[in-house]
């Protein structure tokens, strides 16, 4: 019998622990590893194997600690550096994971596990091109590596190559048919391709392989939203949260779904989880003054209300400044530069600050999109008194004179916006931007309605190119007036919009501008609608002058355009 603490005794314990770990008896294996470390705290194998066990049990923080301790004993082991990279990726610490993977590769060139972890780190660090090159290098050396094919699909999606991502997942599944992550990634690619029924089937295959797969439950919920099955989506989010109560992405998706269904109280409460999301967390502001969410008196206090997210969000939620002021607060409003001139003089605002300028002293702060929660907003209490934004009188008069000189009085004057912002660097926003936007060519039936004088409100070089190309093919498009190069900010746009009879727009900031000015606005709305437009209704309690033209099925713009064409023809004829 070996003496306790002797090399032979420790070797026996180590063999037993490894065998237990290989057979899935993780608790017993962990006990054995810890017994070894109690006898020899710097035993390399016990440290690194305990680290690997922690990763196997998805205790990633603990795994990092054990692996780091192992590397303090021996930093020359490529496999340990690679495992550390894996753990750091799982924790979202992609820069550190990349460094660990690179150390592994410096020790062992071409090490496929390290290449795989390096690719994941690069993708997580928003470097998809480099990630793809890393996966391709790995697969050239070892084409039968299913994890690499599956992970490669994520990089391809980030590059906007959904068809290629789908094919990469199919390669992974040919090698491992019950690979849950590959089925889920395949479903993600199908969702990008606007194939929700196929995506649903792939997510369900993922969940059949791993019923505790939180991301698959979460993303299946998103697919049910694409299928207009919001109750089923909420049920999926509940399943995901039962497995992972602190999943910020699931809370976020649940918030959007609740808001879509009109449950504003619960939805805005969940919406606060946005600050835990990887994409949004870096933009969270840190102030010495406390956050105000309606839980303290504002009488005699100064409150900073600050813009977040997009221009349309600021245009929609700046209306709350007046309500905050009515609680006895002095309101300081910080907004994006493009909106500063327009929002000067907004009711309830004592001081307007352009983002980037020094802030005055304040007692509390609140992000604009937290104000509905602070004000306990429900549908019946949405502050919908419009207009609350106004064009500058002199600028409006100048546009009026110019339009009167160029356009017959009997023509219906209509502004047109056919695309939202393009944010290709963020996968979820890229998909939303693609779904809400059109090429102007799709709008030819609307543009050809007689009795209408069109004004382009679509800014940007791409818009100019699209309009120029359309004018070569459609005579009606040649009559579209484009003065957008003279619109330097939203105050200029408001002055032009003030002289129009109607704005027709996709779901973007100009639609919010028109609604806030109480200008008639028709919004082309995708099926997987932004939460603020809710479901099934043609109006919106946020903007009394707005009318929604909704897709009946995902991607079906033709029926939307047909309905708008008929409605516009009737309006022009009536005029």
CATH number at residue 317: 3.40.50
At 165-198, the pLDDT tens digits run 999 999 999 999 999 999 999 999 999 999 999 9
CA pair distance 233, 223, nearest whole angstrom? 8
Total number of domains constituting the chain: 2
Token couple for 314 = 């600021």
Q: 405 and 545 in one domain? A: yes
Encode 274-313: b = buried (16+ Cβ within 10 Å), e = exposed: bbeeeeeeeeeeeeeeebbbeeeebeebbbbbbbbebbbb
Residue 200 lies in a domain: no
Residue 79 lies in a domain: no
In this structure, of 359-368, 449-458, 473-482, the range with the lowest mean pLDDT score is: 473-482
The position carrying tokens 């079906």 is: 556
Task: Please report the DSSP string for 315-339 in residue order.
Answer: HHHTTHHHHHHTTTPEEEEEE-HHH
Cβ–Cβ < 8 Å for 292, 488? no
Q: 542 and 462 in one domain? A: yes
The CATH number that applies at residue 566 is 3.40.50.2000
Q: 413 and 370 in one domain? A: no
* Domain termination residue (choose one: 322, 354, 381): 381
* Domain termination residue (choose one: 381, 405, 439): 381
Cβ–Cβ < 8 Å for 366, 325? no
CA distances from 564 to 278, 522, 561 (A): 39, 8, 5
Cβ–Cβ < 8 Å for 453, 460? no
Mean pLDDT value across residues 527-548: 96
At 63-82, the pLDDT tens digits run 899 899 999 999 999 999 99
Question: What number of helices (H) and strands (E) belong to the chain?
Answer: 27, 9
| pLDDT surpasses 70 at 5 | no
Q: 481 and 410 in one domain? A: yes
CA pair distance 282, 297, nearest whole angstrom? 29
Q: 418 and 313 in one domain? A: no
In this structure, of 32-36, 108-112, 157-161, the range with the lowest mean pLDDT score is: 32-36
In this structure, of 36-50, 269-283, 557-571, the range with the lowest mean pLDDT score is: 36-50
Question: What residues have CB less than 8 Å from 359, skipping those under 6 apart?
Answer: 304, 332, 334, 353
Which residue, among 136, 134, 129, has the nearest Cα to 97 in the 3D structure?
Answer: 134
Mean pLDDT value across residues 523-533: 95
| pLDDT surpasses 80 at 430 | no
Q: 345 and 414 in one domain? A: no
User: Quick one: CA dihedral 208, 211, 215, 217, positive or negative?
Assistant: positive
pLDDT tier, 423 (very low <50, low <70, confident <90, very high otherwise): low
Q: 457 and 311 in one domain? A: no
Higher pLDDT among residues 300 and 463, named by residue: 300
Task: Classify strands 521-525 and 546-550 as parallel, antiparallel or unpaired.
Answer: parallel
| pLDDT surpasses 80 at 494 | yes
In 318-422, which residue ranges form alpha helices assigned H by DSSP?
320-325, 337-343, 371-374, 393-406
pLDDT tier, 292 (very low <50, low <70, confident <90, very high otherwise): very high
Residue 62 lies in a domain: no
CA distances from 86 to 130, 262, 412 (A): 18, 41, 61
| pLDDT score at 431 | 80
Residue 429 lies in a domain: yes
* Domain termination residue (choose one: 336, 358, 381): 381
| pLDDT score at 410 | 85
User: Any idea what DSSP says for residue 481?
Assistant: B
| pLDDT score at 17 | 60
pLDDT tier, 378 (very low <50, low <70, confident <90, very high otherwise): very high
Q: In the beta sheet, which residues pair with residue 349?
A: 331
Name the percent of the chain lying above pLDDT 90: 81
CA distances from 208 to 174, 181, 188, 297 (A): 17, 11, 16, 52
| pLDDT score at 2 | 56
Mean pLDDT value across residues 8-16: 69
Q: 429 and 311 in one domain? A: no
Stated as kind and residue range, the H or E segment containing 381 is none
Residue 458 lies in a domain: yes
Q: 449 and 363 in one domain? A: no
| pLDDT score at 45 | 78
| pLDDT score at 42 | 81
Mean pLDDT across the chain: 93
At 213-248, the pLDDT tens digits run 999 999 999 999 999 999 999 999 999 999 999 999
Instruction: Name the strands in the sheet holding 521-525, side by side, starting at the edge strand that comes first in the sequence.
Output: 452-456, 412-417, 502-506, 521-525, 546-550
CA pair distance 138, 125, nearest whole angstrom? 19
Residue 425 lies in a domain: yes
Q: 305 and 410 in one domain? A: no
Q: Tell me how many degrees the CA angle 3-13-73 measures, rounded to the nearest 5.
A: 100
In 5-145, which residue ranges form alpha helices assigned H by DSSP?
7-22, 26-39, 44-56, 60-73, 78-90, 94-107, 112-124, 128-141
Mean pLDDT value across residues 132-144: 97
| pLDDT score at 1 | 43
pLDDT tier, 278 (very low <50, low <70, confident <90, very high otherwise): confident
Residue 369 lies in a domain: yes
Encode 376-409: b = buried (16+ Cβ within 10 Å), e = exposed: ebeeeebbeebebbbbbeebbeebeeebeeebee
Residue 175 lies in a domain: no
Stated as kind and residue range, the H or E segment containing 364 is strand 364-367
| pLDDT score at 425 | 55
For residue 451, the enclosing domain spans: 393-574
Strands (E), 174-277: none
Convert 242-268 into a string of H (helix), E (strand) and C (coil): HHCCCCHHHHHHHHHHHHHCCCHHHHH
Q: 397 and 366 in one domain? A: no
Q: In the beta sheet, which residues pair with residue 453?
A: 413
| pLDDT score at 422 | 66
Q: 549 and 449 in one domain? A: yes
């Amino acid at each position: 019998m070996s003496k306790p603490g002797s090399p032979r005794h420790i070797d026996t314990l180590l063999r037993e622990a490894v065998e237990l770990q290989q057979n899935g008896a993780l608790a017993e294996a962990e006990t054995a590893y810890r017994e070894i470390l109690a006898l020899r705290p710097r035993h390399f194998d016990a440290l690194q194997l305990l680290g690997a066990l922690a990763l196997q049990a998805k205790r990633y923080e603990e795994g990092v600690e054990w692996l780091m301790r192992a590397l303090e004993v021996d930093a020359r082991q490529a496999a340990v550096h690679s495992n550390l990279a894996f753990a750091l990726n799982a924790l979202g610490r992609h820069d550190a994971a990349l460094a660990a993977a690179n150390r592994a590769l410096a020790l062992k060139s071409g090490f496929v596990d390290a290449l795989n972890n390096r690719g994941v780190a690069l993708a997580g660090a928003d470097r998809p091109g480099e990630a793809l090159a890393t996966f391709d290098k790995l697969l050239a050396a070892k084409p039968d590596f299913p994890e690499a094919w599956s992970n490669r699909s994520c990089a391809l999606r980030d590059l906007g190559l959904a068809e290629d991502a789908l094919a990469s997942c199919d390669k992974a599944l040919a090698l491992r048919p019950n690979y849950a992550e590959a089925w889920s990634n395949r479903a993600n690619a199908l969702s990008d391709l606007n194939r929700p029924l196929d995506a649903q089937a792939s997510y369900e295959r993922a969940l059949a392989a791993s019923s505790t797969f939180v991301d698959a439950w979460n993303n299946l919920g998103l697919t049910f939203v694409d299928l207009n099955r919001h109750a089923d989506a909420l049920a999926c989010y509940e399943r995901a949260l039962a497995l992972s109560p602190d999943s910020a992405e699931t809370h976020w998706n649940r918030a959007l779904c609740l808001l879509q269904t009109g449950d504003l109280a619960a939805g805005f409460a969940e919406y606060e989880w946005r600050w835990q999301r990887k994409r949004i967390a870096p933009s969270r502001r840190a102030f010495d003054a406390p956050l105000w969410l309606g839980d303290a008196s504002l009488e005699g206090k100064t409150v900073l209300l600050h813009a977040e997210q997009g221009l349309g969000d600021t245009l929609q939620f700046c209306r709350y400044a007046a309500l905050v002021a009515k609680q006895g607060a002095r309101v300081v409003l910080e907004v994006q530069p493009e909106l500063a001139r327009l929002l000067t003089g907004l009711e309830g605002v004592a001081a307007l600050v352009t983002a980037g300028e020094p802030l005055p002293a304040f007692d509390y702060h609140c992000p604009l999109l937290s104000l509905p929660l602070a004000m306990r907003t429900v549908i019946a209490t949405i502050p919908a008194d419009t207009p609350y934004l106004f064009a500058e009188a002199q600028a409006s008069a100048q546009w009026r004179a110019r339009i009167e000189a160029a356009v017959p009085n009997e023509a219906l004057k209509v502004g047109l916006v056919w695309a939202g912002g393009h944010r290709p660097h963020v996968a979820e926003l890229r998909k939303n931007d693609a779904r809400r936007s059109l090429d102007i060519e799709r709008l030819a039936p609307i543009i050809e309605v007689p009795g209408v004088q069109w004004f382009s409100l679509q800014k940007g070089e791409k818009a100019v190119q699209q309009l120029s190309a359309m004018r070569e093919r459609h005579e009606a498009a040649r009559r579209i007036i484009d003065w957008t190069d003279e619109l330097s900010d939203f105050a200029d746009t408001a002055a032009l919009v003030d002289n129009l009879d109607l704005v027709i727009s996709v779901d973007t900031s100009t639609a919010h501008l028109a609604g806030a000015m109480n200008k008639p606005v028709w919004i082309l709305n995708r099926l997987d609608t932004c939460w603020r437009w809710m479901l099934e209704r043609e109006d919106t309690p946020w903007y009394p002058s707005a009318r929604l033209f909704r897709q009946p099925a995902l991607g079906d713009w033709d029926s939307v355009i047909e309905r708008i064409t008929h409605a516009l023809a009737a309006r022009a004829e009536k005029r």
